[in-house]
Each structure stands twice: as structure tokens, then as C-alpha cells.
A = this chain, B = another copy of it.
Amino acid sequence: MFCLSYLVSCLKRNSMHSFTEENYLKAIYKLEEKTGGRVNNTDLAKALAIHSATVTDMLKKMSERKWILYEKSKGFKLTGKGRKSAVGIIRRHRLWEVFLVSKLEFGWDEVHEIAEQLEHVQSEDLINRLDSFLGYPKADPHGDPIPDENGEFMKSEAVLLSKLKAGSKARFAGITDHSTAFLSYLDKIGLALGDTIKIGSIEEFDQSYILQLKSKKEIIVSSRVTNGILVVINY
């Protein structure tokens, strides 16, 4: 009994993380991505929907374990070790999302919460076999890149649809708004990842766009929509 718990606690300390720890790592990674730099306590607390005091304690622990660099009042950032873990979690999340959509026929607006659970299953072998089973997908159902076994992934060249000029053509490559409401809305208006979009014209008044879909149908979308969509320009 002593031996077992000792072993388990060792494993935990070195290579594994609790669900909670994994959620912190992932949240920090995403905040770093968004802000491009260091992250602060308040933002992380908001992202995790917990209180600052709780975050303070966990940051101390994560700092001791060398998952983050933490300079009091200067914000913090992931170490190499921390980043590697975070990328692994994102890899798992996105591969499971591909599985759910491509094999179990879930809608792209239905998979996130389930993937939030599946991403915590610990087995490298499992995830590499899943990757192979899915045909080594490069992106998840939302167009987000999937890190490979070594944690490498393509930096996207996509830009916001709202940056394009009238007359240009582009491929729908990703989203910045991952909300279920937005995804369902896109389903409703018939816009799917990979589609070619042509910009008919842009209304000066409110920056709404008239888009020509691959079905030749024309639709008007608000700037909220063009700011939620990432596209790759066809040269």
C-alpha cells in the first residue's frame, strides 16, 4: 500500500497531471496564444471561472514543479516542459473532436464538451493509434491545427474574413468564435469549413458583407460573422 501510493504520487509529480492541472495548462496556453505574451492571474481566473485566490495557490504549485515561470506581479508563462504538456492536451482534444465528427457523425457544434472530457484520458499509445485511425488529420472540425506526435504543428496563414475586399475569393479555413451559437448559425446559413467564399460587396453603413456561396446562393452577414471567420486567400 505504501509502495503503491508512493509510486502513484511519483508518477503524478513527474509525468502526469490531474484534470485540474491539465485544465490550467491548457487555459494558460490559450491565453498566451491570445495575448502573445505573459498571462496574469485575473485573466486565468476568468478563463477557468474560478477565483483569483485559488489561482494564486495553483500558480505557486505549478511554479514549484517548473511548469510555469512565475514572476510576482509580472505575470507568468509556460516553461518548455509546461508548453509540451499543454500542446499534448490540445492534440488529444482536437483528435477526439475529429473522431466524434468524422466517425460518430456528431455536428461540429456538439463535440467540444465531450472532447473536454476525452482529452484527459492518459495514454500516448491510445492517442497515436487514434491519430493513425483518423488518417493523421491536420486540422480539427473547427479548422484548428492538430499538433503531431512531437508537438509540432503548422502556423495558420488564415486571416479574418472581415479583412478582405469586395471581389476577392477565399477558402473558409477556421473560426475565431467557437461558440455553439455561432457554429449552429453557420450551419443554418449553409456555410461549412472548406467552402469557397466570394465577397460580392461590402455595405459601407455597417460593414455587412454580401457573400456568394459555392451553391451560388448569396447571403448577407454582419460584421460579427465576418470577424468570427478565418479564411485563406486563393491566389
Interface, chain A (partner B; CB < 8 A): 1, 4, 49, 51, 100, 103-106, 110, 113-114, 117-118, 120-123, 125-126, 129-130, 133
Contact = CB atoms under 8 A, between A and B. Distances in A.
A104 B122 contact: no
Contacts of A4: 49
B123 A114 contact: yes
A1 B120 CA distance: 24
B129 A105 contact: yes
B123 A121 contact: no
B114 A121 contact: yes
A103 B133 contact: yes
A125 B113 CA distance: 12
A117 B121 contact: yes
Contacts of A129: 104-106
Given A106-B129, A118-B118, A121-B121, 6 more contacts: A1-B49, A1-B51, A100-B126, A104-B126, A104-B129, A117-B123
A49 B1 CA distance: 8
Nearest to A122: B117
A49 B49 CA distance: 35
A129 B104 CA distance: 6
Given A4-B49, A49-B1, A114 B126 contact: yes
A107 to B, nearest CB: 11
A114 to B, nearest CB: 5
Contacts of A130: 104
Contacts of A1: 49, 51
Given A1-B49, A49-B4, A126-B114, A104 B133 contact: yes
